[in-house]
Structure 1
Amino acid sequence: MIRTFLLLFVVIFTLGCNKDDDNPNPSNPNVIPYQEGLTTNYITVNNITRKYLVYRPTGMTTVNAVVTVLHGGGGTGLGVSNLGEHPLSVFRTLADIDKFLVVYPEGSPDNLGNPGWNDCRSDDISGSQGDDITFLKQLNAKLMAELNINSSKMYLTGGSNGALMTFSYAFQFPETIKAIAVGSGNLPEFPESGICTNGSTLPIPILLTHGTSDPAMPANGGCVANVGGNCNRGKVISQSATLSYWLQRNGLQNVTPTTSTFDLNTSDAGNVEKRIYNGANPLVYYILNNAGHQAPSKTVFSNSSPAQGVQNRDIEFAEEVWNFFSGLD
């Protein structure tokens, strides 16, 4: 009797000690290792602790998409994720509706200690010098592994310095994401040697927005954020040259775009011209006439200034980006 009891105990104990109990996230597509709401998380990259915020909407049980959002120079992940404080926070509102995950990584310190991104500019002498590309690559891989998804559900977007970092990622690891979107970003005039100069030519769907009167990222090219007049943030090529590069890379250089113009807010900088270049890897381009450097938004307004210009309020950047991303499926 005692022997039978002991044998039964061993069987029950063994079954109860399944190895998956030691793994908080076994390979299960229904397990999301992030709490609902906005949480702060960390990953160690090259012995340096890096921070990223994750927004999981209430009621989300499966991961249909992950949108990684890169702040601009001097910004923070928290700053652009706070509802009502920055147009990039609107991704959270959209996530509540369509149930996707939003990730807000934080850049590395520049020479003043402010977060930014070490993009492909070789002449950005005052910008961040951290290994941001490895951080973003490892974060992207971590998210795919723990969420049990592949690159077809991974999207990357950013504004200003975050836009240039998005370009940098697309030069180096385009196969790890589905599509990109950038606001107020031109390609570097003097890119770093190596992969920033001779990087991937793999086509990738892309959305771009740019203000024609952007003082910080000049539409005609030149010095970036040149408030002090010393051009220490490097130089970029023009918006038209940037557009031409992506049209060529995506095989759309001979495509006639579908165009539309709208001006919903007549008291802002000016109207918007939208161009759609259809193809296997489409490109959507928004010309924000007379607008400045700020992300366009219909709900989160930014003040005008000589350094930033005037915000366009005819479109919602996050909404246009998400509609583009979700429409690719």
Structure 2
Amino acid sequence: MRYPCAVFLLLFLTAACAGGAASSVPTEPPPTTPPYPVGQMTDQTLVVGGVTRQFRVHVPAGTTTPKAVVFVLHGGGGEGLDVSVLGQHALSVFRTVADREGFVVVYPAGLPANDAQRLAGWVDCRADNTVASAADDIGFLAALVERVRTAYGLTSARMFMTGGSNGAQMTHAFAFNRADLVGAVATGSGSLPVTPKTGGCATGPSRPLPIMILHGSGDTQMPWGGGCVADIGGNCNRGRVISAEATRDRWLQINGLGGVTPTTTVVDSSAADAGPASRFDYPGAAPVRWWRLDGAGHTAPSRTVLSPPNPVTGIQNRDIEFAEIVWAFFKARLP
């Protein structure tokens, strides 16, 4: 009868604490194949709380022991797991970066919302989001992070999470509730709620956590100055968020950096967008990196996956590549 590796670890520790010989404990032979197919992206499932959840795993060629795992959360809407399709969405560029850098990318899938469109989304910390499903997405993501971490034999310090829009809000929510499972997080165009749910969503993370935050000053869907999220129908049924700057300030408080003066870097490599990208670095044991994209709308910034100006989502910033700057932040946090 075969047991999971975790069981044998528990038996080993029990025997050691009792003074038993380590040699008497059965050992699990090393796996002959990686936990997920190498050199391709595959669809996987995980049952959590009786619900079957989907996720995609991209493993670069030749990568059997990755240096890290990056969980990339799609936004709310119709894209879902299609954000992983190369050339279709800026979040797909994480696959290209992973192939060069040797980390694994995991794209989890949210469940359909309870509105008329029934599009995939995440149940984050907004207590006033009346169209969200009843899914336990924090529980799902926690189980998924642990599943992949254990499969590769990595520490939590090598697990990272990022997302855009609703995926960014879910990343905030996960960080507030399960900071113990990740080494750092990064968000794009997703702010903290005005009315958070009780528990971790209200009290904040159990420890300071390195974070990169990005937001466009022309974003109306996740309003830069705060307000109703994607209020297309005028009902504000997706809840309200605080401003991008207030979200930054909340994390500065969490990480004990309220009095720190940031260093500033400006990137303005494209004349086809609305303005430069300014990076503000707040150094510390748990640093905060904040990107302000002048005039940019809700679309994730990219130099390679270009989106035309849209009356709803606004103008895309083309000075920076979201996947590249996120990985640069994560890479610097590796043990």
How does the TM-score come out when normalised to structure 1? 0.90
Over 3 Å counting, the alpha-carbon distance change for 1:21 and 1:138 in structure 2 is closer
SS in 2 for 1:155: strand
Matched, 1:177 2:182: yes
Cα drift, residue 148 of structure 1: 1.1
Residues 292 and 38 from structure 1, CA distance in 2 versus in 1: closer, same or farther, beyond 3 angstroms?
A: same
The answer to whether the Cα contact below 8 Å between 1:226 and 1:232 also exists between their aligned partners in 2 is yes
- Mapped to 2, the partners of 1:144 and 1:97 lie a distance apart of 21
Secondary structure of the residue that 1:140 maps to in structure 2?
helix
> 1:167-204 CA distances to partner (integer Å, 9 max, x unpaired)?
10011110110000000011000111222112434100
Q: 2: distance between equivalents of 1:22 and 1:133?
A: 24
**Is the counterpart of residue 188 in structure 1 residue 193 in structure 2?**
yes
Q: 1:204 to 1:30 in 2, by over 3 A?
A: farther
**Partner residue in 2 for 1:73:** 76
**Aligned equivalents of 2:305, 2:124: Cα separation in 1:** 27
| Among candidates 110, 120, 123, match of residue 118 of structure 1 | 123
Give the match for residue 44 of structure 1.
47
User: Deviation string for 1:236-295 (max 9, x for gaps)?
Assistant: 001111111101111111111110112100121211111111111111111000000010
1:83 aligns to 2:86 (yes or no): yes
Query: AA paired with 2:41?
Result: L
Moved over 2 A (4+): 18-23, 26-32, 75-78, 198-201
Answer yes or no: is the 8 Å Cα contact 2:46–2:53 preserved in 1.
Answer: yes
State the one-letter code of the partner of 2:263: T
Secondary structure at the residue paired with 1:42? strand
Give the residue type in structure 2 aligned to 1:244.
D
The answer on whether the counterparts of 1:184 and 1:293 sit within 8 Å (CA) in structure 2 is yes
Structure 2 counterpart of 1:95, which letter? A
Return closer, same or farther for 1:29/1:319 CA change in 2, 3 Å cut-off: farther
The alignment partner of 1:172 has SS state of helix
Q: How does 1:116-155 map to 2 (within 5 A)?
A: 116-155=121-160
Deviations 1:117-154 (A, max 9, x none): 00010111112321111100111111111111110110
TM-score between both structures, scaled by the size of structure 2: 0.89
CA distance in 2, matches of 1:323, 1:30: 32
**Cα distance in 2 for residues equivalent to 1:148 and 1:29:** 11
Match status 1:101 vs 2:104: yes
Residue 228 of structure 1 aligns with which residue?
233
**Matched position secondary structure for 2:107:** strand
Greater CA drift, 213-222 or 193-202: 193-202
Work out whether 1:262 is the aligned partner of 2:267: yes
Native 8 Å contact 1:27 1:148 kept in 2: no
Tell whether 2:279 aligns with 1:277.
no
Aligned position for 2:21 = none
Match of 1:208 in 2: 213
Match of 2:22 in 1: none
> Equivalents in 2 of 1:172, 1:217: separation in Å?
22
SS of 1:173's partner is helix
The one-letter code of the counterpart of 1:66 is: V
Q: Distance between the aligned counterparts of 2:5 and 2:311, measured in 1?
A: 56
Q: Is the 8 A contact 1:296 1:317 kept in 2?
A: yes
Aligned residues: 310
Partner of 1:92: 95
Return the alpha-carbon distance in structure 1 between the equivalents of residues 87 and 94 of structure 2: 11
Q: What is the Cα deviation at residue 49 of structure 1?
A: 0.4
Q: For the residues of structure 2 that align with 1:115 and 1:313, how far apart are their CA atoms?
A: 27
Bigger Rg, structure 1 or 2? 1
Give 1:35's match in structure 2, choosing from 23, 34, 37: 37
Contact 2:180 2:206 in 1 (8 A): no
Q: 1:20 to 1:248 in 2, by over 3 A?
A: closer
8 Å Cα contact 2:80-2:120 kept in structure 1: no
The answer to whether the Cα contact below 8 Å between 1:53 and 1:77 also exists between their aligned partners in 2 is: no
For structure 1, list consecutive stretches of 5 or more residues without a partner in the other structure: 1-17
1:327 paired with 2:332, answer: yes
Contact kept? 1:225, 1:307, Cα under 8 Å: no
CA shift digits 1:80-129 (9 cap, x unpaired): 10000000000000111011100000001101321100001011111232
- Verify: 1:217 aligned to 2:219, yes or no: no
Q: Contact 2:303–2:320 at 8 Å: present in 1 too?
A: yes
Question: Contact (CA 8 Å) 1:30, 1:61: kept in 2 or not?
Answer: no
CA 1:61/1:71 → structure 2, altered by over 3 Å: closer, same or farther? same
Alignment of 1:9-20 (within 5 A): none
